[in-house]
Amino acid sequence: MTAETITTAADIRINARWVIPIEPARVILENHAIILQGSRMLALLPQDEADRDYRARETIDLPDHVVMPGLINMHGHAAMSLFRGMADDLPLMAWLNDHIWPAEHQFIGEQFIADGTQLAMAEMLRTGTTTFSDMYFFPELVAQAAHDVGMRAQVCFPLIDFPTAWGSGPEEYLRKGADLIEAWKDDEYITPAIGPHAPYTVSDGPLGDALALSEATGARIQIHLHETAFEVADAVEKFGQRPTGRIEEKGLLGPRTQCVHMTQIDDSDIERLTTSGAHVIHCPESNLKLASGFCPVQKLIDQGINVAIGTDGAASNNDLDLFGELRSAAMVAKAVAGDAAALSAHQALAMATINGARALGREHDLGSLVPGKLADIIAIDLSDPFLQPVYDPASHLVYSNHARAVSHSWIHGVPQLQEGKLTRIDVADLMLRVNDWRDRIRQYQAQ
Ligand SMILES: [Zn+2]
């Protein structure tokens, strides 16, 4: 038998100093190779075994790097990146009523969405995210923008009681949303979903229609839930029950539901999450900045609830760096639990990968480096002084990581970031358009 007959031809071989596969949990492999074939991962094995078994068309050596699955940012409003830093230091309702909603009324249109979404994708790709969830106006443009770049996205169409630039009201949103689901339902990059804004902005009728659409199509539902103490008190006054109670009563709390925020929760809310199998999307920095409250992450994990993580929009964060978000999540979880062992580094990394994949219902394809899964992979260069010395790369990724250390990424086997440079977004051209928006928004603010 010749060497030719015993080796397998592959497209890309990545030689990594460390690999954190996420599954199995809490494992760190050293000097392993990852073999990619087309859009999928073919193998993960020691480098000397890879020398013997595989011939790759291209080999990438990452001698100071940790390689792991791409991050999944489970909640955001991508185009709001154009509002980054426009209005800060305000409580949620004043921030929305006096700043965000008027500015949205003035500026939201097709070009704003296209440019803002591309700005957000550039930032997310630079900081290790390969899949993001979006909930914003003109979702058909967001889906197209993500697809054109080759980024994976769950695109939730917005559902809200009042008219916006995207439509006249719930009836039109639901009709356009059904078209979105039909158009993208079989796409490998885009997962269309339903985004009722929040219990306090969507009335019973449209909530029921959202559920019917989810049941007919299998589309997931993402909703802002229990964001503030005001929301909970308001619901108790208006409906005689807590927001989770009303959402459960309407049939919307189930394994296809992603509940974003979940601060101000008591044991009855936790019980509803446990029995329904709904997912929690934790957005600690947005909750901190808007002083919304704290999500008891460790308590939820201990109850077996799947907790994923999101940045929320850049208007309330103000960045889309998911590694930074993990650091905040770990710190807040420890403070809230009164326990330094709460939300360990490995648990935090799982939150940003496999738990996100579970919330999307795509855990068989995404969220860990297991042969057969889609090749959504990132590398982080640990050679800089701010990441030295290395005793435990998982610790650095959560507690010490500097987002700029993300050096490489592949989505669907396609290179997106190489040596820190984006391969599929023209950043210079994007910056011209972003500066133009800044000038227009500044002029409006000055009026
Ligand atoms: Zn949000």
Average pLDDT rounded to a whole number, residues 328-335 = 97
CA of 406 to the centre of ligand 1 (A): 25
* Burial zone of 319 (CB within 10 Å; 0-12 exposed, 13-18 middle, 19+ buried): middle
Give the pLDDT band (50/70/90) at residue 6. confident
Helix, strand, coil percentages (3-state) for the chain, rounded to 5, are 45, 25, 35
Task: Tell me: pLDDT of 171 over 80.
Answer: yes
Q: Count how many Cα atoms sit within 13 Å of the Cα of residue 116 in the half-sphere of its side chain.
A: 30
**Beta-sheet pairing, 221-225 with 129-135:** unpaired
pLDDT digits (tens, 9 = 90+) for 364-409: 999 999 999 999 999 999 999 999 999 999 999 999 977 889 999 9
CA of 76 to the centre of ligand 1 (A): 6
pLDDT of residue 78: 98
CA of 361 to the centre of ligand 1 (A): 20
pLDDT of residue 402: 78
CA of 313 to the centre of ligand 1 (A): 6
- What sign for the dihedral angle of Cα 324, 330, 336, 340? negative
CA of 315 to the centre of ligand 1 (A): 10
CA of 77 to the centre of ligand 1 (A): 6
Average pLDDT rounded to a whole number, residues 77-88 = 94
CA of 227 to the centre of ligand 1 (A): 9
CA of 335 to the centre of ligand 1 (A): 23
Average pLDDT rounded to a whole number, residues 230-248 = 95
Task: Tell me: pLDDT of 287 over 60.
Answer: yes
Lowest mean pLDDT among 103-107, 168-172, 295-299: 103-107
Nearest to 217 by CA among 259, 276, 295, 157: 157
The angle at the Cα of 229, spanning 228 to 233, to the nearest 5 degrees, equals 125
CA of 276 to the centre of ligand 1 (A): 22
CA of 260 to the centre of ligand 1 (A): 7
Average pLDDT rounded to a whole number, residues 162-191 = 97
Task: Tell me: pLDDT of 224 over 90.
Answer: yes
Task: Say how far apart CA 44 and CA 36 lie, in whole Å.
Answer: 9
pLDDT of residue 2: 47
Angle between helices 427-446 and 110-126 (to 10 degrees): 120
Alpha-helix residue ranges (DSSP H) falling in 7-75: 47-53
CA of 134 to the centre of ligand 1 (A): 9
Average pLDDT rounded to a whole number, residues 38-58 = 97
CA of 310 to the centre of ligand 1 (A): 9
CA of 222 to the centre of ligand 1 (A): 10
Task: Say how far apart CA 395 and CA 390 lie, in whole Å.
Answer: 9
> What DSSP designation does 387 have?
G
Task: Say how far apart CA 33 and CA 59 lie, in whole Å.
Answer: 10
pLDDT digits (tens, 9 = 90+) for 291-312: 999 999 999 999 999 999 999 9
CA of 238 to the centre of ligand 1 (A): 23
CA of 261 to the centre of ligand 1 (A): 8
The answer to whether 183 and 173 have CB atoms below 8 angstroms apart is no
pLDDT of residue 5: 52
CA of 224 to the centre of ligand 1 (A): 6
CA of 295 to the centre of ligand 1 (A): 15
CA of 74 to the centre of ligand 1 (A): 10
CA of 289 to the centre of ligand 1 (A): 13
CA of 252 to the centre of ligand 1 (A): 18
CA of 201 to the centre of ligand 1 (A): 13
Query: What's the one-letter identity of residue 341?
Result: A
Task: Say how far apart CA 142 and CA 129 lie, in whole Å.
Answer: 16
pLDDT of residue 133: 98
Average pLDDT, whole number, for the chain? 95
Task: Say how far apart CA 32 and CA 35 lie, in whole Å.
Answer: 10
Read off φ and ψ for residue 166, nearest 5 degrees: -90, -15
Distance, C-alpha 86 to centroid of its chain: 23
CA of 312 to the centre of ligand 1 (A): 5
CA of 160 to the centre of ligand 1 (A): 13
Distance, C-alpha 227 to centroid of its chain: 18
pLDDT of residue 28: 98
Give the pLDDT band (50/70/90) at residue 91. confident
Task: Tell me: pLDDT of 3 over 50.
Answer: no
pLDDT of residue 101: 86
In this prediction, what percent of the chain has a pLDDT beyond 90? 92
Cis amide bond preceding 163, omega within 30: no
CA of 18 to the centre of ligand 1 (A): 34
CA distances from 395 to 261, 417, 431 (A): 25, 23, 34
CA of 183 to the centre of ligand 1 (A): 25
Query: What's the one-letter identity of residue 401?
Result: N
CA of 199 to the centre of ligand 1 (A): 13
